[in-house]
Amino acid sequence: MNTFIYSHTEYVRPSRTIETVYMSDGSNVRAFYIYNYEGYSFRVLEHLVSLISFFESGVAEDYHLDTEEELDCFLERVLL
């Protein structure tokens, strides 16, 4: 199971955020960029370039989750 190390939140608008989350499995640490759209759509991007591309084109090739529970489950189990 992965553990949460650190998070930083930037507000795009009051109901839209970008979180930088660092996760660890004990031997590896990995950053994820999470775009939270009004609490009901979460885009998890693995690279800063992917985040920039998402805002430029509206297309994300990484992960799309619909609930905070799905997001938590994903972060707990994703391979680092």
Q: Mind listing the pLDDT tens digit for each residue in 55-65?
A: 999 888 899 99
Say what the pTM is.
0.91
> Cα separation of 53 and 70, whole Å?
23
Under 8 Å between Cβ of 3 and 24: yes
Q: In the chain, how many domains are there?
A: 1
Q: Tell me the torsion sign for CA atoms 22, 11, 35, 75.
A: positive
Residue 38's closest CA among 16, 59, 58? 16
Domain that holds residue 72: 3-77
Mean pLDDT by 10-residue block, N- to C-terminus, for the chain (80 residues)?
94 96 96 96 95 90 94 95
The pLDDT of residue 60: 81
Sheet strand arrangement including 63-65: 3-13, 16-24, 29-37, 41-45, 63-65
What's the pLDDT at 59? 85
Q: What per-residue confidence (pLDDT) applies to 15? A: 95
